[in-house]
A and B are shown apart, each in its own frame.
Chain A
Amino acid sequence: MSYVILIIALPFAAFVINGLLSGKIPHRFAGWLATGAIGVAAVLAWLTAYSYFFQSTSFEKIIPFQITWLSFTETLQIDMGILLDPISVMMLVVITTVSLMVFLYSLGYMQGEKGFVRYYAFLSLFSFSMLGLVVATNLFQLYMFWELVGVSSDLLIGYYYDKPEAVAAAKKAFIVTRFADFGFLVGILLLSYYTGTFDFAAITDPNHTAFTTMTGSLFLGLSVLTWALMLIFMGGAGKSAMFPLHIWLPDAMEGPTPVSALIHAATMVVAGVFLVARMFPVFSFHAPEALDAVAFIGVFTLLFAAIIACTQTDIKRILAFSTMSQIGYMMLALGVSDYGDQGLGFTASMFHLFTHAFFKALLFLGAGSIIHAIHSNDIREMGNLRKHQPVTHIVFLIACLAIAGIPPFAGFFSKDEILAATLNSSPVYFAIATFTAGLTAFYMFRLYFLVFWNRETVYEYKPHESSFIMLVPMIVLAVGSAVAGFIPFGKFVSSDSQPLHIEMNQTVAILSIVVAATGILIAWALYKKESPLSEKIASTLNGLYRVALKKFYIDELYVFITKKIIFNLISKPIAWFDRHVIDALMDFTATATNKVSAEIKGLQSGQLQHYAYIFLSGVVLIVLIMIFNYT
């Protein structure tokens, strides 16, 4: 299994070559180099998965590669290594595959763009950091790659750095996730302070002795361990755009569309889910309260984002909110899950992560194809595109069916598992999740009908089908979205690495299909043809519609909090103190020195003889004093 290191090393090599030689090598070469590197990595990842899942019976944690990187004390040291277990192998497959598709797609999409080589360098860097993240053997390595992911995502969002919106979005994404990562870091430090190790193998061992002391000591009514895990989850929530740290994700759509597909749909945003899954035994055994928080935030976000998605008009933003909603599902599933036999939620969450990566990447690539064709993001300017882009239309339809949860497409199976898991734990959450499944179907098909059906639109540019190199990845992903659901996921991925037998819950399945079909039908009725009905509904629900359109004013709330409260109440007095007390002290020192200097500078006349006078007088005076003292 030692070739696993290559999976990580290859994208890094591509990044180094493209980054260093940017501007010196031709575009095509740079693109194919990076694509080739990730392609080989993808093949290796599939090989790894094959040998891991099919050639061994038990899914133990394997560490094929490890070096000690920093050694602080005898007991506390930081390693760099590769950890293979079911979820990391699964993530390797997902990331390399989706990356490969996006790399291929970008060859067509980004053709002729300025900074093509830079784009591929950043993309490779991102793949490298994401892969490093999922195979991390310890929390610290994970944190390092976590930050690397943040940086490369920031670079890619701000790819069009001459566009002020893109720069602002990059800044926003960076600051929000950075803020969350601060919590993450504190959580890591807390956890490692008590356990004395960063290693996942040790931390996730349910019988680890250190946890008893942590669960014993209380802070504000919750154990220290719970707080540590909450803080770690805060980092995950930041990356995964959970409420209330979600505000960066919609703006992040300023980046190139393939970037949105790769980062903000399929891989990076699920890092938070992955993190919680990685730490799941700790959550499950020692801090169920933290897990409850995960579930609550998950369910809130999935409903919240779905409602907003119904009102947006920017195609990429709709997809962004739908991403948030789907990740909410994953978090919810993790939150309601148990360890071991009752770990349906864990498996369901990972399963949904897996399938979601395919259909969401496909949705974004499809959106990219549409945007590429008509040079607009606004769905109100689209319509009847099925005539112009038949292939895009088909794959987009597949993706929509998948996300809506219509069998036999992938989303149905994973979402069904999530709903079943939720039902076992909390009926209220189940109701919300099911309702949102309908909502999901509604807004996805609203998008679908508005773009591909509806009225005939006159386009400024004649829309055309995308080039072959862009269609291939979309078709591959469409196949993935269609069939990924048939993988018996429970056999491979479960919370305790033991095969989990999953039975389909008939009632839940039928219910979810009915709900999804209802959503699609409503969308069909409202948006299939150009009709005034949707406007009418929007105006009847005027308040809710407006609020949702404005994303529930969360952005405004943030601005209010930062501007009004933090700036005015905290920063301003501090600034005042700084300016009028600290600076004044400094100024006083400076002006006093100045004044004194100005006064005494006359003594430095530059006249040699003046100095001699003074000198001589001094000598005479001293001699006088000496003589009279001695006699």
Chain B
Amino acid sequence: MMEHVPISHVLIVTSAMFFIGVYGFLTRRNLVTMLIGVELMLNAVNINFVIFDRYLYPDQISGHFFALFIIAIAAAEAAVAIAIFINLYRNIRSIDVEEVDKMKY
């Protein structure tokens, strides 16, 4: 189904997605939306793994498993991050990243 799509095109798409994630991470001030940026980056990398696996080494499906594990880790990371946000919100009534500077020097 995708045989006619060259690999570089897919990779350009994923890198675009990655840098969009970076952009989101850097510009947003709400911690939840920053998390969305992080998820985008993770997802882009994930696609990269799968695509390399599919196009370059189709005989061994390692990339596939990497993707699986990354998804699991992303889930764990998201869960912990959101727990932290909720706790933070409870404490300072805000999840603005610029107000989270209590731990500097």
Partner-B contacts on A (CB < 8 A)? 601, 604-609, 612-613, 616
Contact = CB atoms under 8 A, between A and B. Distances in A.
26 contacts: A601-B105, A604-B104, A604-B105, A605-B101, A605-B104, A606-B100, A606-B101, A606-B102, A606-B103, A606-B104, A607-B97, A607-B98, A607-B101, A608-B34, A608-B97, A608-B100, A609-B25, A609-B26, A609-B29, A609-B97, A609-B98, A612-B25, A612-B26, A613-B26, A616-B22, A616-B26
Contacts of A613: 26
Contacts, number: 26
Q: What 4 pairs between A and B have smallest CB-CB spacing? A: A606-B101, A606-B104, A604-B104, A601-B105
Nearest to B29: A609
Contacts of A612: 25-26
Contacts of B34: 608
Contacts of A609: 25-26, 29, 97-98
Nearest to B103: A606
A605 B104 CA distance: 6
Interface of B: 22, 25-26, 29, 34, 97-98, 100-105
Contacts of A605: 101, 104
A601 B105 CA distance: 7
B96 to A, nearest CB: 11
A616 B26 CA distance: 10
Contacts of B22: 616
A261 B101 CA distance: 74
A46 to B, nearest CB: 78
Nearest to B31: A608
Quick one: which of B22, B101, B102 has the most chain A CB within 10 A? B101
B28 to A, nearest CB: 9
B21 to A, nearest CB: 11
A174 B19 CA distance: 80
A608 B34 CA distance: 11
Nearest to B28: A609
B71 to A, nearest CB: 23
Given A607-B101, A612-B26, A616-B26, 16 more contacts: A601-B105, A604-B105, A605-B104, A606-B100, A606-B101, A606-B102, A606-B103, A607-B97, A608-B34, A608-B97, A608-B100, A609-B25, A609-B26, A609-B29, A609-B97, A616-B22
A604 B104 CA distance: 6
Contacts of B103: 606
Nearest to A608: B97
Nearest to A613: B26
A172 B26 CA distance: 74
Nearest to A597: B105
A606 B26 CA distance: 14
A607 B34 CA distance: 13
Nearest to B101: A606
Contacts of B100: 606, 608
Contacts of A601: 105
B37 to A, nearest CB: 10
Contacts of B29: 609
A130 B42 CA distance: 84
B22 to A, nearest CB: 6
B39 to A, nearest CB: 15
Nearest to A601: B105
Nearest to B104: A606
A85 to B, nearest CB: 75
A72 B19 CA distance: 75
Contacts of A607: 97-98, 101
Contacts of B105: 601, 604
A419 B98 CA distance: 99
A607 B31 CA distance: 12
B87 to A, nearest CB: 16
A8 B105 CA distance: 64
A613 B34 CA distance: 14
A608 B102 CA distance: 11
B55 to A, nearest CB: 23
A63 B26 CA distance: 90
B95 to A, nearest CB: 12
A615 to B, nearest CB: 10
A73 to B, nearest CB: 58
B41 to A, nearest CB: 11
Quick one: which of B34, B98, B100, B103 has the most chain A CB within 10 A? B98
Nearest to B25: A612
Contacts of B97: 607-609
A535 to B, nearest CB: 80
A577 to B, nearest CB: 36
B92 to A, nearest CB: 13
A473 to B, nearest CB: 74
Contacts of B101: 605-607
A606 B97 CA distance: 9
Nearest to A616: B22
Contacts of A604: 104-105
Contacts of A608: 34, 97, 100
A312 to B, nearest CB: 69
Contacts of B104: 604-606
A612 B23 CA distance: 11
Quick one: which of B22, B97, B105 has the most chain A CB within 10 A? B105
A478 B104 CA distance: 83
A102 B102 CA distance: 72
A32 to B, nearest CB: 68
A608 B88 CA distance: 15
A231 to B, nearest CB: 59
A236 to B, nearest CB: 64
A57 B25 CA distance: 106
A601 B25 CA distance: 24
A270 B24 CA distance: 92
A307 B104 CA distance: 77
A613 B26 CA distance: 7
A608 B103 CA distance: 11
Nearest to A600: B105
A612 B105 CA distance: 18
A170 to B, nearest CB: 51
A137 B44 CA distance: 88
